Amino acid sequence: MYTQALNTAEAPGAPVDAAAAARFQARIDAEQRIEPRDFMPEAYRRTLIRQISQHAHSEIVGMLPEGNWITRAPSLRRKAALLAKVQDEGGHGLYLYAAAETLGVAREALVDQLLAGVAKYSSIFNYPTLTWADIGAIGWLVDGAAIMNQIPLCRCSYGPYARAMIRICKEESFHQRQGFEIMLTLCRGTPAQKAMAQDALDRWWWPVLMMFGPPDAQSQHSQTSTRWKIKRFSNDELRQKFLDATVPQARFLGLTPPDPALAFDAETGHWRAGPIDWAEFEAVLAGNGPCNRERLEARRRAHEDGAWVRDAARAHAEKPRATKAQAA
């Protein structure tokens, strides 16, 4: 579902072959794609492994807040759509782990990092889904923000990542539309249903704006990612695009974003948001959001409970080989 600008680009590491590095940058500048077996600076490889694996972890952890409502969806239509959406998120995680593996790291190692609590994932999934309207708000806003961020990643300089993103973006637009439809249905329903939609917007609005990462002034690392054409737009640029696209949608729904300072700047044609509480963002990233512990606990439990399936599959695969060896 989403990769977050966490500003974790590597500082330049060991000295690299300057000529090779210059050739590499020239290829990037010429908009060529870098493929797994091509030369790449070690810092480029490490930055990508971190970004792609964080993105993959976000997809997998992102299944949890929505999975919470599958059994309680209000109709069969909604349940089928939510099941399909959550299944998509799992698939997106797998595409991304596969892309990360082309950089020379095993998926199992990445999963271990997540379960050990040393890998990051998008802060947004550490918020709870308290009502059915939260499922609408997630599709509309969280997936909407994810699309803003992911469309430029389809042109990322690393081929396998870009190709995974193309596949993901194709599947993602249904997610946003189904979310908006849920919100629209609630907003056209009873006053209590509309109040539930407004409450969901109130709780998700600010965390969604934080999804784009810290303000540009504080993200010194993103310059390297921009030079490598991993990142095509700055955090603030993407946040602005999202704001301009989303505020009119909220007004269509008859909902009000919880930002008294939100105003339209007629001169520039942009919506301007009030100040974002970055202390909250930092706290959630540091592991102290409302659901951080619960999410990791759920992932660990799922991994442990699935161990027998992995063991059985392996034993089954071993069997014909063992039988053949015995016969020989």
Residues lying near another protein in the complex (CB under 8 A): 35, 37-38, 84, 87-88, 91, 94-95, 98, 101, 106-109, 112, 163-164, 167, 171, 310, 313-314, 316-317
Q: Which CB, 263 or 315, lies closer to another protein?
A: 315
Q: Which CB, 52 or 210, lies closer to another protein?
A: 52
Q: Tell me how far, at minimum, the Cβ of 174 lies from another protein, in Å.
A: 9
Q: Which CB, 159 or 274, lies closer to another protein?
A: 159
Q: Tell me how far, at minimum, the Cβ of 113 lies from another protein, in Å.
A: 12
Q: Which residues of 245-259 are buried (b: 16+ CB within 10 A; e: fewer)?
A: ebbebbeebebebeb
Bridge partner residues of 34 (DSSP): 158
Q: Tell me how far, at minimum, the Cβ of 62 lies from another protein, in Å.
A: 17
- Long-range CB contacts for residues 192-200, cutoff 8 Å, separation at least 24: 193/133, 194/254, 196/131, 196/132, 196/133, 197/133, 197/136, 197/137, 197/253, 197/255, 198/255, 198/256, 199/131, 199/133, 200/131, 200/133, 200/134, 200/136, 200/137
Expressed in percent and rounded to 5, the helix, strand and coil fractions of the chain are 70, 0, 30
Q: Which CB, 263 or 313, lies closer to another protein?
A: 313
d(CA 97, CA 107): 6
Q: Tell me how far, at minimum, the Cβ of 98 lies from another protein, in Å.
A: 5
Q: Which CB, 88 or 134, lies closer to another protein?
A: 88
Q: Tell me how far, at minimum, the Cβ of 173 lies from another protein, in Å.
A: 12
